[in-house]
Amino acid sequence: MSAAPPAYHDPRTRCDRTPAWGALQQHFQQSGRHFDLRAALEGGGGAARVAHFSQQAPHVYADLSKNLIDARTEALLLQLARECGVEAYRDAMFAGCPINHTEGRAVMHWLLRNPPPDHMNQGAAAIENAASGFVAEAAREVQATLEQMLALAEQVRADDAITDIVNIGIGGSDLGPSMAVKALDDLRPAPKRLHFISNVDGMELGSLLRTLQPERTLFLIASKTFTTAETMTNARAARAWFLAQGGSEQQLARHFWALTTNLEAAAQFGIHTTLGFWDWVGGRYSLWSAIGLPIAIAVGADAFRRLLAGAHAMDQHFRRAPLEQNLPVRLALLDVWYRNFHGFGSRCVAPYSHGLRRLPAYLQQLEMESNGKGVDAAGDPLPYATSPVVWGEPGTNGQHAFFQMLHQGPNVIPVEFIALARPGRDLPGQHARLVANALAQAKALMRGRPSPDNPHRHFGGNRPSTFFVLEQLTPEALGALIALYEHRVFVAGAVWGINSFDQWGVELGKVLAQGLEPRLASGDTEGLDASTAALLGRFQVE
């Protein structure tokens, strides 16, 4: 790309320096912390509350009424968002400004889901036309790469010789595609198997290789940087296996493709087919880019476009809806309310959908790598908490594992239920049983059950939850749901005054690992702290 990103200065005010912050603290002390869900939902005002605290956003219905907020809390939180400059910051992202200022990069994963200009309605097209040269140039490259990627996906789908596709990648180059392929499994043509290899533990790739035939396998080496140690180690191991099975260097070119921004490194690896993308796509925001090739292979070009369209619909909602009716904004403000005023340390995500079983793992990276930060944009330490711990398991499995703690543990943990109005592939009666459980858990958390005679059986209730309903797990709904979470993370990070788009915290461990690896072989513990030295002595390496 030749055009430069637009000039930029951070338009935000840090949350604790706004009038709304103090007003929220006061409101919390006076009444917020005593809010009672049962009184709010079971009295005469219940239906009005549900109407007010629920909304249909593109492809996602959200019931927020079982959260510990009232109209005053909501008004103050919206005031907070405005005083923090969330709208100007959002507009800066959509203008292509380098809001990832510690890396000097724009943040434009949303551009990957923009329809080509001839598919846009007139209003949207006019806005896009007004975009800077930087965004317009990027948009042209995006469309060209998307066409190329979808053509390659269709080529693989039509190639009967290829039965197994192995995606080798980690973090953002694994979690998004792996989650989405599982979610859209109903659309996958049966004969192709998709595998996701991420761990540098040789057990993962080693066990898979035993089941593969080289001439029937396509390896996708997915890495934004093409330097990530785990991915490069697995990629080299896969190549060595391929050659050891009798494959030639020429055949290798047909069976190894790369998805990366580092075209040169992919070429040096011996790869001829490379789909590129750009530094303004963060790893954890990259499933819409070339990193999404396994999804496109799994579901086909049309369904991949539908995934993009669903996300684009949510982008439009986020850009245009007033803050009061802006679902990513409302969710993020709840996150701030719970984290910074109630002091809740974590949030549980419980998709009552087997297809969404990897969503919690995906969200762990999206939320905690984005917003697990301790300094503001200027580098000053923050006097308040940021990202909660995000965790979870699909329902009903979680009920039989950790819901005990959600109901009776001393810490309140807001829960997020996600259910499908209509099932995909189902067996008779099972969808009703699944959904009844989700509804029952949300109700039990809210309502509780007093047990005056036996404290062990006492359910305190008043435990908050949010309930999302998707009509069906279509590509559009999945795209919209993921974009909803992305924008929610953006808004919470905007309020907290942090950079949600870097991840310097992952660097130190990588550097130390490089120094420790040779010591494992040599046994040299010179200069190490006592604990690391003692542990090192317990390992045997070849």
Ligand X SMILES: O=P(O)(O)OC[C@H]1O[C@H](O)[C@H](O)[C@@H](O)[C@@H]1O
Binding site for ligand X (CB under 6 A): 170-173, 223-225, 228, 231, 283-284, 369, 503, 506
Q: At closest approach, how far in Å is the CB of 458 from ligand X?
A: 43
The one catalytic residue in 74, 369, 476, 486 is 369
- Residue (225 or 251) nearer to ligand X, CB: 225
Q: At closest approach, how far in Å is the CB of 173 from ligand X?
A: 4
**H or E element, residue 276:** strand 273-276
Beta-carbon-side half-sphere exposure of residue 20 (alpha carbons within 13 Å): 21
- Residue (179 or 336) nearer to ligand X, CB: 179
- Residue (75 or 200) nearer to ligand X, CB: 200
Query: Nearest to residue 172, comparing CAs of 259, 266, 58, 241?
Result: 259
Q: Cβ-count burial of 541 within 10 angstroms (0-12 exposed, 13-18 middle, 19+ buried)?
A: exposed
3-state secondary structure of 473: coil
Q: At closest approach, how far in Å is the CB of 501 from ligand X?
A: 10
End-to-end CA distance of the chain: 46
Q: At closest approach, how far in Å is the CB of 8 from ligand X?
A: 23
Cα gap 310→93, rounded to integer Å: 19
**H or E element, residue 193:** strand 193-197
**Residue type for position 150:** L
Three-class SS string for 283-348? HHHCCCCHHHHHHHHHHCHHHHHHHHHHHHHHHHHHHHCCHHHCHHHHHHHHHHHHHHHHCCCEEE
**H or E element, residue 520:** helix 507-522
Q: At closest approach, how far in Å is the CB of 268 from ligand X?
A: 16
Cα gap 48→160, rounded to integer Å: 57
The one catalytic residue in 34, 119, 272, 510 is 510
Length of the chain equals 542
Query: Nearest to residue 21, comparing CAs of 382, 263, 277?
Result: 382
Q: At closest approach, how far in Å is the CB of 464 from ligand X?
A: 30
Beta-carbon-side half-sphere exposure of residue 419 (alpha carbons within 13 Å): 21
- Residue (224 or 312) nearer to ligand X, CB: 224
The answer to whether 369 is a known catalytic residue is yes
Q: At closest approach, how far in Å is the CB of 147 from ligand X?
A: 23
The one catalytic residue in 34, 400, 471, 517 is 400
- Residue (83 or 103) nearer to ligand X, CB: 103
The dihedral over CA atoms of 492, 493, 497, 500, expressed in degrees to the nearest 10, equals: 180
- Residue (145 or 472) nearer to ligand X, CB: 145
- Residue (219 or 337) nearer to ligand X, CB: 219
Write out the catalytic residue numbers.
Answer: 369, 400, 510
